């Protein structure tokens, strides 16, 4: 395989998941984690990987793996503890960190909102857009002269779904109408932040979407309609206003029917303020959704999953690299001229250090190998993909699932903070050094 010159090979993390609370303001996640039963195992991000203090060690890991790009987030509640005023010491920290990456020859990919908004704010209110704009301005004023790639928002659908519709993530709201409104405000925040960034020469602004290809469980017309509806709910409701011609009409009708009223929170000029501002699209891909028709409650579809025995991660998610290939090719065909960057792709595999002190996570190696091959196939089919950022650099706090799921190329002993590069991390380093290829390794033929 051969990848384009300048293709970015990297990995990602987010502030709340790795930094710890040292010196930061209260975020919605601090509040949420205090709810009894909100987080599996009762954990929180108060220490996490202690990366705010051990950041130099993390830069050394990035160098050891040979990454050419590293995705990280500036903690919104660290930079703006009260939601309104910037803390210069926090900006100093991120400036030092960014400079260290650049000195190591690593391209920073900076995310502004990876879910840790200050506790004084909520996406349910339109005023959050102004607060986010001020935050973006503060970070851009300090770092836009040296950071090219900017991700404004991470996974607007997940913010709306888990944070405001189901109440499973911070801030723990469970109201469908509030969720639709919050998702709209997140997209408005993207547009406003992109405008701030574009005032600085050379910046590229994009939004990272959690995209789930939606396939019908059978060839029936009802199941095909269910897959189409699910695609509108999960994907098109965000893709179309960002890259197309505004919100899709079929989903507008769905929401008005489900909510029993019009979408008056989408004001005149809003869609114009969201669209036309994406220099690239961030693609977070983990798996697909297999859909069947269902009685509307309020959605006339349900996830049934793939039939038969399929490869799965330890979290039970189907492993399907072919769906990534088709997703990338389809996006480039539908939105020509919009470069793509894989901003998250990974799986939960719970391997821990063996008797020799190493982590032999062979299934993650197979996962990496097959998904990178899928990216190459998409490139061969004409997709404009600029980089692959594996999720994640290291094991970390996995939101409401606590510390059980392990996504990392690097194992973290949470009691001591000790980092151990897993076999998958070593494999990825060899793959990067080989320009996207690596020698076949023993016992890495399948996921079993």
Structure confidence at residue 446 (pLDDT): 59
Q: Annotated catalytic residue: which of 30, 155, 271, 377? A: 155
Per-residue pLDDT of the chain (448 residues; tens, 9 = 90+): 579 999 999 999 999 999 999 989 999 999 999 999 999 999 999 999 999 999 999 999 999 999 999 999 999 999 999 999 999 999 999 999 999 999 999 999 999 999 999 999 999 999 999 999 999 999 999 999 999 999 999 999 999 999 999 999 999 999 999 999 999 999 999 999 999 999 999 999 999 999 999 999 999 999 999 999 999 999 999 999 999 999 999 999 999 999 999 999 999 999 999 999 999 999 999 999 999 999 998 999 999 999 889 999 999 999 999 999 999 999 999 999 999 999 999 999 999 999 999 999 999 999 999 999 999 999 999 999 999 999 999 999 999 999 999 999 999 999 999 999 999 999 999 999 999 987 676 555 556 5
Question: Phi/psi at 407 (nearest 5 deg)?
Answer: -105, -10
Prediction pTM value: 0.97
CA neighbor of 396 nearest in space, from 378, 409, 381, 380: 409
DSSP 53-100: TSHHHHHHHHHHTT-SEEEEE--HHHHSTTSSS--HHHHHHHHHHHHH
Tokens representing residue 82 in the block? 């009260």
Residue 414 labeled ligand binder: no
Distance (Å, whole) CA 58 – CA 65: 11
Structure confidence at residue 49 (pLDDT): 98
Residue 154 labeled ligand binder: yes
Terminal Cα-to-Cα distance of the chain (whole angstroms):
25
Are the CB atoms for 306 and 322 separated by under 8 Å? no
Distance (Å, whole) CA 257 – CA 389: 39
Residue 286 labeled ligand binder: yes
Sign of the alpha-carbon torsion through 17, 21, 25, 29: positive
Structure confidence at residue 275 (pLDDT): 98
DSSP 212-263: --EEESSSSHHHHHHHHHHHIIIIIHHHHHHHSSSS-HHHHHHHHHHHTS--
Buried b (16+ CB within 10 A) or exposed e, 81-94: bebeebbeebbebb
Confirm whether 95 is a catalytic residue. Answer: no
Residue 21 labeled ligand binder: no
Neighbouring residues of 340: CB distance < 8 A, sequence distance ≥ 6:
280, 281, 283, 328, 331, 332, 383, 384, 385, 386
Confirm whether 344 is a catalytic residue. Answer: yes
Q: Annotated catalytic residue: which of 19, 107, 344, 377? A: 344
Looking at residue 26, the DSSP 8-state letter turns out to be: P
Homologous superfamily (CATH) for 8-433: Glycosidases (3.20.20.80)
């Amino acid at each position: 395989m051969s990848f384009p010159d300048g293709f970015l090979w990297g990995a990602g993390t987010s502030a709340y998941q790795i930094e710890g609370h040292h010196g930061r303001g209260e975020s919605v996640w601090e509040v949420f984690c205090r709810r009894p039963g909100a987080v599996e195992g009762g954990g929180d991000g108060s220490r996490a990987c202690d990366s705010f203090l051990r950041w130099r060690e993390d830069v050394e890991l990035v160098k050891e793996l040979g990454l050419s790009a590293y995705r990280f987030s500036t903690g919104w509640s660290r930079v703006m503890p009260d939601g309104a005023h910037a803390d210069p010491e926090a900006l100093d920290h991120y400036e030092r960190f960014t400079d260290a990456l650049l000195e190591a020859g690593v391209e920073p990919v900076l995310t502004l909102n990876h879910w840790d908004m200050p506790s004084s704010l909520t996406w349910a209110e339109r005023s959050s857009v102004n607060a986010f704009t001020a935050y973006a301005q503060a970070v851009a004023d300090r770092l836009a002269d040296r950071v090219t790639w900017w991700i404004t928002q991470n996974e607007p659908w997940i913010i709306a779904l888990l944070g405001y519709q189901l109440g499973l993530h911070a801030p723990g709201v469970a109201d469908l109408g509030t969720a639709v409104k919050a998702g709209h405000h997140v997209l408005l925040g993207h547009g406003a932040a992109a405008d701030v960034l574009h005032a600085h020469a050379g910046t590229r602004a994009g939004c990272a979407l959690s995209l789930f290809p939606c396939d019908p469980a059978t060839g029936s017309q009802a199941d095909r309609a269910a897959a189409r509806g699910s695609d509108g709910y999960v994907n098109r409701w965000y893709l179309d206003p960002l890259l197309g011609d505004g919100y899709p009409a079929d989903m507008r009708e769905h929401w008005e029917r489900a909510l029993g009223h019009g979408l008056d929170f989408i004001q005149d000029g809003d869609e114009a303020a969201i669209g036309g501002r994406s220099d690239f699209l961030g693609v977070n891909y983990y798996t697909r959704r297999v859909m069947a028709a269902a009685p509307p409650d309020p959605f006339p579809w349900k996830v049934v999953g793939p039939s038969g025995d399929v490869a799965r991660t330890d979290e039970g998610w189907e492993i399907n690299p072919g769906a990534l290939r088709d997703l990338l090719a389809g996006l480039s065909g539908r939105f020509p001229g919009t470069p793509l960057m894989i901003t998250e792709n990974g799986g939960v595999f719970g391997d821990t250090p063996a008797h020799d002190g190493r982590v032999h996570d062979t299934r993650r190696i197979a996962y990496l190998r097959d998904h990178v091959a899928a990216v190459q196939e998409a490139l061969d089919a004409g997709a404009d993909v600029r980089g692959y950022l594996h999720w994640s650099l290291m094991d970390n706090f996995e939101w409401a699932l606590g510390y059980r799921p392990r996504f990392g190329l690097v194992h973290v002993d949470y009691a001591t903070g000790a980092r151990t590069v897993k076999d998958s991390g070593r494999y990825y380093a060899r793959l990067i050094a080989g320009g996207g290829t690596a020698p076949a390794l023993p016992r890495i033929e399948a996921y079993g």
